[in-house]
Amino acid sequence: MKGVVFVIRKVKTENGWVRGLPAADPRITSYKGIPFADKPIGKNRWRAPQPCPDWEGELFCADFGPIAMQANCAGDPMKDIYAREWAVDATLPMSEDCLYLNIWAPADGRKNMPVYVWYFGGGLQVGNTTEMEFDGERIARRGIVVVTVGYRLNCFGFLCHPEITKESPDAPANFGFLDQQCATRWVKRNIEAFGGDPNNITIGGQSAGGMSVSAQLTNKENEGLFQRAIIQSGAFLNPFGMKFGLAPRTLEEAEKQGERFFEALGVKTLEEARALDARTVENKSLEWPWGCWSEAVDGVFSKYPSNEWVFNTDRILCPLLIGETSNEFFSFPPAKTEEELTEFAKKQFGEHAETFLSFYTRPATEESIARESALHSIFFAVLAAAGVNRKKGVNQPLYAYMFDAEIPGWDNPGTFHSVDLWFFFETLAKCWRPFKGKHYDLARSMCDYWANFIKTGNPNGTDLHGDKLPEWKTFSDTDLDRMVFKDAPCPEKHVLSEQEKFLFERFLENI
């Protein structure tokens, strides 16, 4: 707009003044490294995030804060696709002092803009906001205030111990989720100063970030904190009835894990464990073959396993946008032979066992079972959520998608887990892959859809240039409408296979 001077670079928060910098597009201001809580060090280790202290003068927010303690994932790019794609800097500052957020906001003085709060992924073990695909500038160009949140990971974010429970029964676990909640509450209290509308907040995340969104949805204390949610590759339901991925533990199980960890650290008390330096704790965590640190059902933040939100309506009910990439998280029955498949069918499906077995070549082999049973766990979670909504009378808009674009590169990667991040953030130009015009067009359309949903809870509307986007219908278990992002956005009515119908019927019988 002619005559407008883009000057908003300085903002007053509840803790003090912050100064940002022009983004690559000077019409956007970026504020990097704003503290939203006290440092989680010393007595604050394994404790809920504490209020952020005020600061004097002006905080120059030009650089990202340190990333959370974690394994260094910058490996061999010839062998590791994620080292090729994102984990490209082995020298990032890393610290237990990691509770910082970043904001991209239009600088023209607009008010009441919608707000998008983003939780990164990485299995709750690794990840950070500095990854280049998470640049919020392109979304902010669409009149949105974008916030990316740092939070504690692995043993720092998800360790439990009886001493911690005794000390803080009101917050004994899930510190990483509490960090996200604390940051989102900070946003609600402060975002108006950046031009955002505190009553129009969308939370979103991918992979473990999507799992984090699920966790926030299940916490009823978040009622009114956000108005809608986006879950990308972060909701799972194994159609064959088994647990999937980072299955939440009970608090008792998590506390026993913590006790074993303290023994491995050579400490006997919480005080001694807090006195250890962060690197010693992290290194021991990486040495110990106990698997991942994840959610504990503590009865406080987590009243039930958050991955069960799909069949539990006791959650924050709001519009959802949810989906997956086409080459990720397939599920299979736990069988490799004819005998194992038959035994599983009888145990899992009882009188319906023969119907289930009819979907398979007989006698079954490891190869035929894998070929004939590969089903998308994320799609099944979406289908289940829609079925539960209908069965329990929940009127909740649900928009589903499948990302199925052709991804170029010498490694012929397919639509691998997380590749869609480049597209909806519209940050393809930062990637090494030889993307073409069709990829940039697709990314622009995806960013437009996401922006529309963030603004209104409905992805439909016009694109950045004012042209109408192809209609994206809501998903239900009777009308399986979803958007497929291939060469271009393609509305699709999914057709269930006979096996999918059978498994879905069995699921609904148990609700």
Catalytic residues: 207
Do 59 and 18 contact (CB within 8 A), yes or no?
yes
CA dist., res. 152 & res. 99, Å (int): 8
Do 417 and 207 contact (CB within 8 A), yes or no?
yes
**Structure tokens that stand for 200 in this block:** 């129009």
Neighbours of 505 (CB within 10 A): 12
Residues 6+ apart with CB under 8 A from 476: 386, 389, 390, 398
CA dist., res. 325 & res. 332, Å (int): 18
CA dist., res. 500 & res. 220, Å (int): 32
**Structure tokens that stand for 226 in this block:** 């956000």
Do 140 and 102 contact (CB within 8 A), yes or no?
no
31 membership: H or E segment, kind and range: strand 28-35
Residues 6+ apart with CB under 8 A from 279: 69
CA dist., res. 198 & res. 111, Å (int): 11
Residue-wise DSSP of 207-270: THHHHHHHHHHH-GGGTTT-SEEEEES-----TTS---SS--EEHHHHHHHHHHHHHHHT-SSH
